[in-house]
Amino acid sequence: MSNILIIKHGSLGDIAQACGAIQDISENYPDDQIHLLTTKPYYDLFKKNPNISNVIVDKRLSRLNLIYLYSLMREIKKYSFSKVFDLQNSSRTSLYKKILFPKVGKEIWSSTETTLPEGTTKQDFDKDSVLERFDHQLKSSGINTNHTLAPDFSWSTSDISQIKNHHELEKYIVLFPFCSPHLASKKWSYYNDLISLINEKLENKFKVVIAPGPGEIKDAASINALCILDNGKPLDISQLAALIKDSSFVVANDTGPAHMTAHLGSKGIALFGAHTTAHKVSIERENFKAIQVSDLSKLSANKVFENILLHLN
């Protein structure tokens, strides 16, 4: 039995996207132990993943913190990993390779760097969609990919029956109107107008709810929807996944919850401006679609509502 390491630090949307690749790696090494190096926010989540034997936390302290770097490298080395799949593909994980396996190729360390198509620059390769890049990386490393292009995030859900009973949730639509402050270009501003249309045109058949994150509870007061919390605290990732999974529909900015929805198989739409494309981030699925516009400020609530009607039933 060998030890196999997968590296995936985050973010939330990236975690949802990577779960198909993780499943494929696990299924290709059925007799080995699969370990995952990730960050603290995703430790409890990945402990639930049936394809992972052990989760190692990387605090991602400054790379100039040599004491921490030495400690982490020593922790990793003790497992004597026979193969590493770097699904983060960052400058940080490139440094880890230089320390741990400075001269090996894709037979030991699988990454974008070690599996880059001949004659292609990393800059050009990164223009492909996220899942296509994962698929190429794994296939180039000898992995049969059955799930990489179709991730299934349903393993992440937990029981939220008490929360649903408390809020009397049966048929409901979830909105994700927030985004990180430094990503304001992803934010659509007409959620309250959309809520009015949903309530009026659908004759209150669906409750409209939001589930704010830790830094969004204050802003949630400005949205005319039912705020779903767990004893006054934001839902954790597994609770949020369950809320999405059981919903009738989801409308979201291009954020982590949108990617969760896509890979939970739930119905919904994500709203994209000019910051990127739905294709590049691999978000469109059978039940989850995107509205792509050049300027989100010009996307009307009526247009979004029409898309809800188109896909809701």
What residues have CB less than 8 Å from 215, skipping those under 6 apart?
A: none
Residues 135 and 145 sit within 8 Å (Cβ to Cβ)? yes
* % of the chain at pLDDT higher than 90: 90
Which pLDDT band holds residue 245 (cuts at 50, 70, 90)? very high
- Tell me, what DSSP letter sits at residue 117? P
CA dihedral 120, 5, 41, 172 (to 10 degrees): 70
Q: What is the pLDDT of residues 67-119, one digit of tens each?
A: 999 999 999 999 999 999 999 999 999 999 999 999 999 999 999 999 999 88
Question: Whole-model pTM?
Answer: 0.94
Task: Give the full edge-to-edge strand order of the sheet including 288-292.
Answer: 226-227, 207-210, 172-176, 249-253, 268-272, 288-292
DSSP one-letter string for 8-23: ----HHHHHHHHHHHH
Q: Which domains does the chain have, with CATH numbers?
A: 3-152 (3.40.50.2000), 159-312 (3.40.50.2000)
Give helix 301-312 / helix 191-201 axis angle, nearest 10°: 50
CA distances from 301 to 85, 189, 249, 298 (A): 43, 9, 16, 10
Cβ–Cβ under 8 Å, residues 229 and 221: no
Strands 83-86 and 226-227: unpaired
Lowest mean pLDDT across 121-125, 199-203, 256-260: 121-125
pLDDT band (50, 70, 90) for residue 312: confident
